């Protein structure tokens, strides 16, 4: 019996050290450890031993069984972690998984570009609320009580007194109430209009307002600043024109058009902004002496400018949140 134990142990050592794959290891397991393997068969023989020998061989069998099992386990772990399956799953030559990076909305990018140009021209940035009072949105801006812009057609009214601002011009008033001249700022933000939605107009869009108030501010400075801006934004060779216009809060007033000629199509003038010299009534409304100070103001549509710059022909795409559009910028 002792000889048999030694034989099994020696053969097992030989077999296990020759193993080089999980498949071979499995063969060793079947030979020694499976239900009909060599080790369990010893325990079958154990039953037939004389009673006095049982304690001795019980101990020897168990020792053999444990050490065979332990060596088997150790070999299995080594095979799995080195040349085994776990290692084969990791192919370091494969390209990595790319995480998709988001980007800023094209309107945000345009707004930042506009802000940067005006910062370079000495303007600071100021903001006001999107829900406004009739007082700031119209009254202080010199709109007569019966002006058509107050009509339900254009304005989203919240109640008698409050509304969604229809332009960023009320922020001019808020700024002039807070800061005494000289002042020079731009005021970006969202505005709202109760208009039929189409490729050309949407119920919501963005504007950048500009205001400069000081002694001796002239219309020539207004023109110079806006021309400089247009060249920076659209390029040196941009074709522009100033056209007389009317706003209740500026006098005289003008609009600026940019020449747009899409490839293969006929060109035409497109309006990008309204501007003018701040009406003396507006200055007086905020207790700025209109005898001493003059100012200019302008308001431009960010969607319009973006459409012109990138050749986009439908304003609604800015608000659809369709990645196929947004990803292009």
Q: Is the dihedral of CA 306, 319, 149, 128 positive or negative?
A: negative
Considering only residues 167, 174, 184, 193, which one is a binding residue for ligand PHE as defined by CB under 6 A? 167
Whichever of 43 and 246 has its CB closer to ligand PHE, that residue is: 246
Candidates 13-21, 76-84, 177-185, 297-305: pick the segment binding ligand PHE (CB under 6 A).
Answer: 297-305
Q: Report the DSSP pairing between strands 240-247 and 250-260.
A: antiparallel
Nearest to 230 by CA among 256, 268, 252: 256
Closest CA to 188 of 288, 295, 258, 108: 108
Beta bridge partners of 185: 124, 211
Please classify residue 231 by burial: count the beta carbons closer than 10 Å to its beta carbon, then call 0-12 exposed, 13-18 middle and 19+ buried.
Answer: middle
Interface with ligand PHE (CB under 6 A), residue from 128, 170, 276, 295: 276
Report the residue number, 110 or 172, with the smaller CB distance to ligand PHE.
Answer: 172
The least CB distance from residue 266 to ligand PHE, in Å, is 26
Rule CB under 6 A: say whether 169 interacts with ligand PHE. yes
Residue 142 in contact with ligand PHE, rule: CB under 6 A: no
* Structure tokens belonging to residue 38: 């060599």
Of 191, 179, 210, the C-alpha closest to 117 is 210
The answer to whether 279 touches 250, Cβ cutoff 8 Å, is yes
Answer yes or no whether residue 140 interacts with ligand PHE by CB under 6 A.
no
Nearer of residues 121 and 326 to ligand PHE, judged by Cβ: 121
User: Is 247 an interacting residue with respect to ligand PHE (CB under 6 A)?
Assistant: yes
Q: Which of 298, 304, 306, 315 binds ligand PHE (CB under 6 A)?
A: 298
Please list every residue from 308 through 327 that binds ligand PHE, using CB under 6 A: none
The minimum distance between CB 320 and ligand PHE, in angstroms, equals 24
Q: Binding to ligand PHE by residue 299, rule CB under 6 A?
A: yes
Please count the residues of this chain forming the interface with ligand PHE, following the rule CB under 6 A: 11
Q: Is 250 in the site for ligand PHE (CB under 6 A)?
A: yes
The reply to whether 306 sits near ligand PHE by the rule CB under 6 A is no
Of 170, 188, 274, 295, the residue at the interface with ligand PHE (CB under 6 A) is 274
Q: Measure the CA–CA gap between 272 and 206, rounded to whole angstroms.
A: 12
First and final C-alpha spacing in the chain: 83
Q: What secondary structure does DSSP assign to 166-185, as a single string?
A: SSSHHHHHHHHHHSPSSEEE
Structure tokens at 198: 């189409």
Which residues make up the interface to ligand PHE (CB under 6 A)? 167, 169, 209, 247, 250, 274-276, 297-299
């Amino acid at each position: 019996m002792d000889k048999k134990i030694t034989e099994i142990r020696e053969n097992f050592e030989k077999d296990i050290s020759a193993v080089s794959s999980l498949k071979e290891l499995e063969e060793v397991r079947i030979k020694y450890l499976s239900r009909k393997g060599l080790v369990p068969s010893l325990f079958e023989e154990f039953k037939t031993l004389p009673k006095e020998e049982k304690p001795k061989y019980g101990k020897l069998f168990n020792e053999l069984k444990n050490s065979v099992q332990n060596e088997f386990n150790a070999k299995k772990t080594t095979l799995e972690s080195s040349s085994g399956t776990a290692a084969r799953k990791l192919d370091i030559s494969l390209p990595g998984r790319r995480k998709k990076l988001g980007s800023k909305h094209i309107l945000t990018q345009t707004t930042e570009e506009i802000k940067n140009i005006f910062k370079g021209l000495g303007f600071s940035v100021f903001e006001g609320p999107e829900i406004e009072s009739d007082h700031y949105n119209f009254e202080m801006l010199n709109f007569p009580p019966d002006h058509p812009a107050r009509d339900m057609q254009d304005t989203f009214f919240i109640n008698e007194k409050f509304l969604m601002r229809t332009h960023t011009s009320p922020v001019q008033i808020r700024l002039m109430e807070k800061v005494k001249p000289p002042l020079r700022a731009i005021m970006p933000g969202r505005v709202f209009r109760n208009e039929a939605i189409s490729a050309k107009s949407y119920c919501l869009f963005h504007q950048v307002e500009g205001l400069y108030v000081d002694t001796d501010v002239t219309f020539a400075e207004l023109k110079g600043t806006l021309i400089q801006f247009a060249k920076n934004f659209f390029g040196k060779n941009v074709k522009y024109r100033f056209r007389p216009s009317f706003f209740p809060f500026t006098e005289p007033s003008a609009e600026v058009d940019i020449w747009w000629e899409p490839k293969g199509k006929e060109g035409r003038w497109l309006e990008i902004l309204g501007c003018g010299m701040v009406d003396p009534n507006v200055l007086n409304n905020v207790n700025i002496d209109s005898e001493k100070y003059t100012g200019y103001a302008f308001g431009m549509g960010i969607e319009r400018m973006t459409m012109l710059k990138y050749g986009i022909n439908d304003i609604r795409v800015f608000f659809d949140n369709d990645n196929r559009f947004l990803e292009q910028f």
